[in-house]
Amino acid sequence: MSLKKTALCASALICIAGAAVAQETTLTYMLWSTDQAEIEAGAIAAFEAANPGVTVEVQAMPPSDYWPRVSALAASGDLPDVMAMSSGFVQEWAAAGNLMDLAPLIGDTSLEGYFESAVEIGQIDGAQVAFPQNWVAPVLYYNRTAFDAAGLEYPDADWTWDDFRTAAEALTIDADGDGTPEQYGYWVYGRYAQTDPWVFRNGGRFVNEDGTALEINDEAVNALAFLASIVDDGFAPRPLELEGIRQQDVFGMGLAAMWVDGSWNIDNNRALIGDSFEWGIAQVPMGPDATPETAVAYAWADMLAVTTDSAQTDLAWALVQHLTGPTLTAADFTGGKVPAWSATAMSEEWLGRGQQPDNMELILEIGAQPLYTGFTPNWSAWRGYAAAGSGGLNGELDEVFNGRKSLEDALAAATAYGNDILSR
């Protein structure tokens, strides 16, 4: 071969190799929060820098747009490589075959750095179909200033439901005697994050073991009856009384001295309450019907999943690892959202030293317990959540708390409605 031919061949090879190196790989990633997308922008840039030639195309939108959009993409076989996945939807999406089992990709990779219970939430029928990024748990918020004024001890792990009732009564104050307390002891309505922690802490269950039918057990009924009695006794307002006020603002406005809801409300509380009063968090008291076998904590995770439409699963899994591991710092998680990477969660920064509440470790303790989510396919429909929040079990319980329906009738109606949905 002449020198000229050799040079030509070498040039061609260099061109081909150069083209191959320059070829861009695009990884698509969808999530339901534009705020979260902004938070993760730095981590995404770091991933791209560590993987030359890889571009991550991020699409973020509100949840109300996200689920219809990804559902349409699932129908057309065009899901992104990586998608945000909620504990409430993961079963349905796994059953539809849209989520890849990550176990083969995880292989021998150690998961020791993650909260084990959070990782388990992404396991459906033995397959790791989603991986946790953060997790949350309902807690009992309490107004320490009000407790001090009433001469009450703060809630602790030994608190019983009777202790709770006594405190709720003592904290209900109608100073001007007009029949409407300026401060109620407690605040509750039919929302899942407000009632279900009591049910599960009493060993209660709404659905059967395989999640195919509503079978509300006695422990659940007792827990709901306890909450209804708190309202009926006037220690909590009827929900209709506070209609028009954002439910997450009732505690912060000082209208109720105790409240159970998700730990993600810590951020809202910090912003709303400021220094106007002192507050803390505690576990929801264990119920009288709970046994060591049935007593569970209620928590769930926001997760990431690699979809079965992805053609670059190794790279997709690498992105999931990157966005769930130590790359994100404590500052990337809003108050009360616990990083799935335990070292980040245990950092002083996440524990929020110098801010209220001063016992954020409590949320980590909840996550260390056996967890139960109670989610099933179509959970949002039968439970009554988000855009369906006015119906289902939520709507029926509101009828009970508003004093318009007996608990028995409400649960019968909710069961019939839920089983109709689950049977479709």
Q: Binding string, 180-199, against other proteins, x = CB under 8 A?
A: x-------------------
Q: From CA 7, how far away is CA 415, in angstroms rounded?
A: 79
Q: Which stretch binds other proteins (CB under 8 A): 10-18, 25-33, 67-75, 265-273?
A: 67-75
Q: Which of 99, 305, 417, 422 binds other proteins (CB under 8 A)?
A: 417
143 near other proteins, judged by CB under 8 A: no
Q: Which of 45, 50, 75, 412 binds other proteins (CB under 8 A)?
A: 75
Kind and range of the H or E run holding 282: strand 279-282
Q: Which two tokens stand for residue 227?
A: 């909450």
Q: Binding string, 384-413, against other proteins, x = CB under 8 A?
A: --xxxxxx---xx-xx--x-x---------
> Which residue in the block uniquely carries the two structure tokens 């966005």?
323
Q: Which two tokens stand for residue 271?
A: 């912003």
- Give the contacts of 54 (CB within 8 A, at least 6 positions apart): 24, 25, 26, 27, 47, 48, 315
* Residue-by-residue DSSP string for 172-197: -B-TT-SSS-SBBS-B--S-HHHHHH
The smaller minimum CB distance to other proteins, of residues 17 and 240, is found at: 240
Name which of residues 196 to 225 contact other proteins (CB under 8 A).
Answer: none
Q: Answer yes or no: are the C-beta atoms of 375 and 300 closer than 8 Å.
A: yes
Chain centroid to Cα 110, Å, comes to 25
Bridging pattern class, strands 138-143 and 258-262: antiparallel
Bridging pattern class, strands 123-124 and 258-262: unpaired
Q: Which of 60, 118, 188, 381 binds other proteins (CB under 8 A)?
A: 381
Q: Which stretch binds other proteins (CB under 8 A): 116-124, 240-248, 311-319, 360-368?
A: 240-248
Q: Which of 17, 72, 103, 412 binds other proteins (CB under 8 A)?
A: 72
Q: From CA 340, how far away is CA 113, in angstroms rounded?
A: 8
Q: Which stretch binds other proteins (CB under 8 A): 103-111, 235-243, 320-328, 365-373?
A: 235-243
175 near other proteins, judged by CB under 8 A: no
The smaller minimum CB distance to other proteins, of residues 149 and 388, is found at: 388
Chain centroid to Cα 46, Å, comes to 27
80 near other proteins, judged by CB under 8 A: no
Residue type at 350 in one-letter notation: W
Whether omega for the bond prior to residue 357 falls within 30 degrees of 0, making it cis, is yes
96 near other proteins, judged by CB under 8 A: yes
239 near other proteins, judged by CB under 8 A: yes
Backbone φ and ψ for 337, nearest 5 degrees, come out as: -90, 115
- DSSP summary character for residue 214: B
331 near other proteins, judged by CB under 8 A: no
The smaller minimum CB distance to other proteins, of residues 64 and 109, is found at: 64
Q: Which stretch binds other proteins (CB under 8 A): 11-19, 61-69, 228-236, 290-298?
A: 61-69
**Rounded least distance, CB 189 to other proteins, Å:** 9
**Rounded least distance, CB 242 to other proteins, Å:** 6
Burial class (CB in 10 A: 0-12, 13-18, 19+), 348: exposed
**Rounded least distance, CB 390 to other proteins, Å:** 3
- Give the contacts of 295 (CB within 8 A, at least 6 positions apart): 201, 203, 286, 287
Kind and range of the H or E run holding 133: strand 131-136
> Which residue in the block uniquely carries the two structure tokens 């209609």?
243
**Rounded least distance, CB 230 to other proteins, Å:** 18
123 near other proteins, judged by CB under 8 A: no
Q: Which stretch binds other proteins (CB under 8 A): 11-19, 27-35, 274-282, 414-422?
A: 414-422
Residue numbers of the site for other proteins (CB under 8 A)?
64, 67-68, 71-72, 74-75, 96, 98, 180, 239-245, 378, 380-381, 386-391, 395-396, 398-399, 402, 404, 417, 420-421, 424
